Homo-oligomer: A and B are copies of this chain.
Amino acid sequence: MTTPHAIRSDAAIDTDIAALDLADPLAPFRARFALPDGVLYLDGNSLGALPVATGERVQQALQHEWGTGLIRSWNSADWIGAPQRVGGKIARLIGAQPHEVVVADSTSANLFKLIVAALQASPARRTVLSEPGNFPTDLYMIESALATVGGDRRLVLAPRAELAAHIDDDTALVLLTHVHYKTAEMHDMAAVTAAAHARGALVLWDLSHSVGAVPLALNACRADLAVGCGYKFLNGGPGAPAFLFVAERHQATLQSPLGGWMGHARPFAFVDHYEPAPGVARFLCGTPPILALTALEAGVDLHLEVDMTQIATKARALAALLIERVEAQCAAYGVSLVGPRADAPRGSHVSFRHPEGYAIMQALIARGVIGDFRAPDIMRFGLTPLYLRFADVAAAADTLADVLRTEAWRDPAFQVRQPVT
């Protein structure tokens, strides 16, 4: 491998990058995405890229199912079954049974449903345990759920290393994001779940940065509850609906606080009194968002063609390449890795810290290398094995080095804050 910069020599990066791409069993999947020219997209952990099939599938749903089928498509196109059908497909990606997962609402709303359900199932237990710096909406929804349910319940935040010590007989629920949205640190799902169960607590896993990125085995880990995001690694489209998982053993006892008509045992009987559907369907609420579900299903279908272990293996290799190449070229400019190295338990994005991270990221985006920024100082790069090449990741690292070396980020245009950053 020839580069203009001195690269530390180890197994991951000594290999010729072109050869890595040639040998990549996932390489053919890149053509299944509609990627723009002139862009290296390292933000699929925030918004996944557009699968080619999605445009056609959504047009089919629009023109044929909605336009021609009209109201009949609730039956003839099985719109009514879409939350369970797509949920059942996602179940295969997370190690769950098909009847344990539905697609519905947003991740935030699903968190609320499951937090309240867990609190009400354990009225004698008063605390929800999480960690500071968890993804904000996870903490907000705990606050919201506690404020709504009332009583003397409270949120306890403990640093990752001290979590297990804080699980006690007063813990109703432990809520953690499996892969951290900034650092990519990954919790040991089986160990945390076992520790919680030992004290009689339930665990709710937010899989937003895990699903489609790392192999998951919810039932093998004895997971109780989970939620996850459709628009990141599942490539379901901006604001795609989310999913939720309720282990079969909890389905008869847990109740949704959002008992809408789609979670009713007989939604089309139009009776005045709510009667929860059997199974996970009781966690449905309003009318399913068919166009968005169609786009999500196309993204999920693509994932079902691939072995998750192949994805995880390539993600790890991409992370190793990015970390090595950035550290070799950018450490001198004050860039440092945040979170685990490639061989540690981790998700599929890599973050670096720099005091001028915001402006540096804007300068990168102006050069077509798209990552994102997370306050106060994190530059985050998503590694999506289905559509990223080793050459892309190497070029992204080299562009970062060039932005730093030339101080391109000092351009005042790159200091201007955007509404979404």
Contact of A106 among B137, B259, B285 (CB under 8 A): B285
Assess whether A309 is interfacial by the CB under 8 Å rule: no
On chain B, the residues within 8 Å of A375 by CB distance are: 268-270
**Does A73 touch B at the CB level, under 8 Å?**
yes
Given contacts A270-B374, A291-B238, contact A109 B74 (CB under 8 A): no
CB within 8 A of A140: which of B148, B149, B150, B261? Answer: B261
* Complex contact B43–A71 (CB within 8 A): yes
Q: Across the two chains, which residue of chain B brings its CB closest to A286? A: B106
A420 and B285 contact, CB distance less than 8 A: no
Looking at the complex, which one of B120, B136, B370, B372 makes contact with A261 (CB distance below 8 Å)? B136
**Any B CB within 8 A of the CB of A271:** yes
Q: Is the CB of B260 within 8 A of A140?
A: yes
The answer to the question of A157 belonging to the interface, with a C-beta cut-off of 8 Å to chain B, is: yes
Please determine whether A54 and B43 come into contact, CB atoms closer than 8 angstroms.
no
A108 lies within 8 A of B286 (CB): yes
Q: Does B239 lie within 8 Å of A109, measured CB to CB?
A: no
Q: Is the CB of B59 within 8 A of A55?
A: yes
B260 contacts A291, C-beta separation under 8 Å: no
Instruction: Provide the residues of chain B in CB contact with A116, threshold 8 Å.
Output: 148
CB under 8 Å from chain B, chain A span 21-71? 34-36, 39, 41, 43, 46-47, 49-50, 54-55, 58-59, 62-63, 65-68, 70-71
Q: How many A residues, CB 8 Å from partner? A: 96
Complex partner residue of A259 from B59, B143, B231, CB under 8 angstroms: B143
B141 touches A259 (CB 8 A): yes
Q: Convert A295-316 into 0s and 1s, putting 1 for each residue whose CB lies closer than 8 angstroms to a CB of B.
A: 1000000000000000000000
- Cα distance, A269 to B420, chains bound together (Å): 10
From B46, B106, B258, B372, contact of A144 by CB (8 A): B258
Q: Knowing A55-B62, A58-B62, A139-B272, say if A71 contacts B46 (CB, 8 Å).
A: yes
Interchain nearest-CB distance for A78 vs B (Å)? 8
Chain B residue with the shortest CB-CB distance to A50: B67
Which of B34, B71, B106 is within 8 Å of A372, CB to CB? B71
Q: Which residues of B contact A68 (CB under 8 A)?
A: 36
A242 within 8 A of B: yes
Interface string of A7-19 (1 = CB under 8 A from B): 0000000000000
A43 to chain B, nearest CB (A): 5
Q: Tell me whether A209 is interfacial, beta carbon within 8 Å.
A: no
- Flag if B71 contacts A141 (CB, 8 Å): no
**Contact call B274/A140, Cβ cutoff below 8 A:** yes
Residue picked from A136, A256, A374, most chain B C-beta under 10 Å? A136
The reply to whether A418 and B75 contact each other, CB–CB distance below 8 Å, is yes
Question: A252-279 interface mask toward B, CB cutoff 8 Å, 1 = contact, 0 = none?
Answer: 0001111111101001111111100000
Q: Is A237 at the interface (CB under 8 A from chain B)?
A: yes
CB neighbours of A150 from chain B (8 A)? 149-151
State whether A136 touches B270 (Cβ < 8 A): yes
Does A274 contact B144, Cβ atoms closer than 8 Å? yes
Interface centre among A39, A74, A109, A289 (most CB of B within 10 A): A289
On whether the beta carbons of B136 and A264 are closer than 8 Å, the reply is yes
Bound-complex Cα distance A141 to B263 (A): 11
Residues of chain B lying within 8 A (CB to CB) of residue A256: 144
- Cβ-defined contact, A239 with B370, below 8 A: no
Contact between A109 and B139, CB atoms less than 8 A apart: no
**Do A273 and B139 touch (CB < 8 A)?**
yes
A273: B residues at CB distance < 8 A: 139, 143
Asked if A290 lies at the interface with its beta carbon under 8 angstroms from chain B, I say: yes
Q: Which residue of B lies closest to A116 (CB)?
A: B148
Shortest A182–chain B CB gap in Å is 8
User: 5 additional contacts, CB 8 Å, given A147-B259, A292-B292?
Assistant: A75-B419, A107-B287, A108-B287, A238-B290, A268-B419
